[in-house]
C-alpha cells in the first residue's frame, strides 16, 4: 500500500506557498537578503514548529515570510515546492499566496506574483506539472486592505485564477468580506474560502451563502450539521481537507479520530492536501500515508481522493479527462 500511495497520481488543491518555506531555505534566504532571524540554527527553527493552535502557527509563519524579499526568492520557494510535487507524483497543483503578507512589508505585489508565476511556468514545461494560482485575502485584516489587494491584482489577471480567504476564522466572519468577493466575482475570478476548521459549521454556511464560493478549504466541522452534510454531498461541493495540518493544530488529537474517511464514504467530494507542509511535517504522499495508516482503506478508496481532486479543480473538462485517464490506468494496473 505504501508503494501504491507513493506512485499514485495526485492533485493538490490546498497549499499555501509561503507554508512550504523549509528551515534550510529560510536560512539561505536570510543570509542572501541580510535578514536577522530569531533562531541560531535549523534545529531551533524545527523546535519552534511545535504549535498548540492556529495562532501560534501563524505567528511563526509570518515571521518566516520576512526572508522573502526579491522575485528570485519567490521563484526559489515555488520551485522547491514543485520539485516536491514531482517526487510525490503530483500532476496538478492549485496553490495559494498571501500578497498582503508581503505588500504590508513594502514588497511590491508584482515581485511576489511574478516570481511565483515564473516557477509555475517552468514547472509545466520542465516537470509536466500543471497549476493554477489563487490569491488569498487575510481575514484578520480589514476589507479595505482586501479591496486594495484586489485592485493590485488587476494587472496580473492572466496569472491568477481565483481568490480565497485564509488566516484565523475566530473573530473574523465571512460577512466581513462579502463586498470584496462580490467584486471579485464580477471581475471573473473563481472563489474559495477557509471555513469550518477552527470555526463551527455555521462558518461554512456563511462562506457558501455570503461569499458565493465554489470550494470549501478545510470544512471538517461540517459534521456538526447533518443538513449541511446532505447539501455538500448532493451538490458535490468540494472540501480541501489537510489531515496532518489538522492533527498539528489540534483540530483532531489523533489521525484515527479524523473524519475524512467517513466523509468520503458518505459521498462527499473530499480531497487530501498538505496545507503548510514545511510547518506541519508532510507533503502530499505523507498526508496520504498518514490517512491510510490510521484508517482501513482499499486502493479504490485511496484513488478516489485523487478523482475527487480532479473533479474539484479549476481546469478545463478536457484537462480533467486527461488526468482521470492517467489515474484510472494506474488504479487498473495496481488493483
> Where exactly are the structural domains of the chain?
2-334
Q: Is the confidence at residue 52, as pLDDT, over 80? A: no
Q: Confirm if 226 and 234 have CB atoms less than 8 A apart.
A: no
Q: Is the confidence at residue 153, as pLDDT, over 90? A: yes
Q: What pLDDT does 79 receive?
A: 98
Q: What pLDDT does 63 receive?
A: 80
- The pLDDT confidence band at residue 71, using thresholds 50, 70 and 90, is very high
Q: What pLDDT does 93 receive?
A: 99
pLDDT, the chain, mean: 96
Q: Is the confidence at residue 180, as pLDDT, over 80? A: yes
Mean pLDDT to the nearest integer, 13-42: 92
pLDDT in tens, 117-146: 999 999 999 999 999 999 999 999 999 999
SS3 call for 234:
helix
Q: Is the confidence at residue 251, as pLDDT, over 90? A: yes
- The pLDDT confidence band at residue 60, using thresholds 50, 70 and 90, is confident
Q: Confirm if 136 and 94 have CB atoms less than 8 A apart.
A: no
Q: Confirm if 250 and 256 have CB atoms less than 8 A apart.
A: no
CA dihedral 101, 240, 25, 252 (to 10 degrees): 100
Report the distance separating Cα 107 and Cα 132, nearest Å: 22
- The pLDDT confidence band at residue 315, using thresholds 50, 70 and 90, is very high
**Percent of the chain whose pLDDT exceeds 90:** 89
Per the annotation, the verdict on 301 as an active-site residue is no
Q: Which CATH number applies to 2-334: 3.10.450.710, 3.90.1580.10, 3.20.20.140, 3.40.47.10?
A: 3.20.20.140
Q: Mind giving me the DSSP string for 104-142?
A: TTT--HHHHHHHHHHHHHHIIIII--EEEEEEEEETTS-
Report the distance separating Cα 335 and Cα 321, nearest Å: 21
Mean pLDDT to the nearest integer, 179-198: 98
Residue 23 vs residues 19, 72, 259, 278, 279: alpha-carbon distances, Å: 11, 17, 31, 8, 9
Q: Is the confidence at residue 53, as pLDDT, over 80? A: no
Q: What pLDDT does 281 receive?
A: 85
Report the distance separating Cα 310 and Cα 307, nearest Å: 5
Phi then psi dihedrals of residue 137, to 5 deg:
-90, 140
Q: Confirm if 15 and 84 have CB atoms less than 8 A apart.
A: no
Report the distance separating Cα 81 and Cα 283, nearest Å: 9
Helix (H) or strand (E) holding 195: strand 190-195
Helix (H) or strand (E) holding 280: helix 277-280
* Locus of grid cell 480567504: 165
Q: What pLDDT does 193 receive?
A: 98
* Locus of grid cell 497520481: 9
Residue with more model confidence, 186 or 61: 186
* DSSP 8-state secondary structure symbol assigned to residue 273: -
Report the distance separating Cα 131 and Cα 133, nearest Å: 7
* Locus of grid cell 470544512: 219
Q: What pLDDT does 49 receive?
A: 78
Mean pLDDT to the nearest integer, 25-33: 93
pLDDT in tens, 255-302: 999 999 999 999 999 999 999 999 898 999 999 999 999 999 999 999
For CA atoms 245, 21, 134, 142, the dihedral sign is positive
Give the predicted TM-score (pTM) of the model: 0.97
In 3D, which of 185, 177, 163, 187 has the Cα closest to residue 113? 163
Q: What pLDDT does 154 receive?
A: 97
SS3 call for 62:
helix
Active site residue: 18, 22, 94, 197, which one?
Answer: 197
Alpha carbon of residue 209 to chain centroid: 22
Q: What pLDDT does 160 receive?
A: 98
* Measured CA angle at 286 (ends 285, 289), to 5 deg: 85
Report the distance separating Cα 131 and Cα 187, nearest Å: 21
Q: Is the confidence at residue 59, as pLDDT, over 90? A: no
Amino acid at each position: 500500500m505504501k508503494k501504491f500511495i507513493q506512485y499514485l497520481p495526485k492533485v493538490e488543491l490546498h497549499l499555501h506557498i509561503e507554508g512550504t518555506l523549509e528551515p534550510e531555505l529560510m536560512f539561505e534566504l536570510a543570509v542572501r537578503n541580510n535578514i536577522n532571524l530569531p533562531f541560531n540554527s535549523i534545529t531551533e527553527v524545527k523546535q519552534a514548529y511545535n504549535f498548540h493552535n492556529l495562532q501560534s502557527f501563524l505567528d511563526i509563519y509570518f515571521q518566516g515570510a520576512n526572508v522573502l524579499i526579491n522575485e528570485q526568492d519567490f521563484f526559489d520557494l515555488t520551485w522547491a515546492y514543485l520539485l516536491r510535487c514531482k517526487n510525490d507524483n503530483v500532476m496538478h497543483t492549485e496553490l495559494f499566496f498571501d500578497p498582503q503578507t508581503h505588500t504590508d512589508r513594502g514588497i511590491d505585489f508584482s515581485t511576489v506574483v511574478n516570481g511565483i508565476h515564473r516557477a509555475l511556468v517552468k514547472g509545466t514545461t520542465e516537470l509536466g506539472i500543471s497549476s493554477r494560482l489563487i490569491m488569498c485575502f487575510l481575514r484578520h485584516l480589514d476589507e479595505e486592505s482586501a479591496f486594495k489587494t484586489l485592485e493590485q491584482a488587476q494587472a496580473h489577471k492572466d496569472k491568477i485564477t481565483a481568490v480565497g480567504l485564509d488566516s484565523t476564522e475566530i473573530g473574523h466572519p465571512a460577512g466581513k468580506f462579502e463586498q470584496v468577493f462580490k467584486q471579485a466575482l464580477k471581475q471573473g475570478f473563481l472563489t474559495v474560502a477557509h471555513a469550518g476548521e477552527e470555526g463551527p459549521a455555521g462558518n461554512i454556511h456563511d462562506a457558501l451563502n455570503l461569499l458565493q464560493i465554489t470550494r470549501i478549504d478545510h470544512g471538517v466541522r461540517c459534521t456538526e450539521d447533518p443538513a449541511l452534510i446532505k447539501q455538500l454531498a448532493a451538490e458535490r461541493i468540494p472540501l480541501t481537507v489537510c489531515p496532518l495540518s489538522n492533527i498539528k493544530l489540534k483540530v483532531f488529537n489523533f489521525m484515527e479520530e479524523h473524519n475524512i474517511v467517513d466523509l468520503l464514504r458518505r459521498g462527499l467530494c473530499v480531497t487530501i492536501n498538505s496545507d503548510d507542509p514545511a510547518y506541519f511535517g508532510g507533503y502530499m504522499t505523507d498526508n496520504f500515508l498518514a490517512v491510510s495508516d490510521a484508517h482501513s482503506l482499499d486502493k479504490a478508496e485511496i484513488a478516489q481522493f485523487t478523482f475527487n481532486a480532479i473533479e474539484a479543480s479549476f481546469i478545463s473538462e478536457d484537462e480533467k479527462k486527461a488526468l482521470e485517464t492517467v489515474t484510472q490506468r494506474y488504479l487498473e494496473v495496481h488493483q
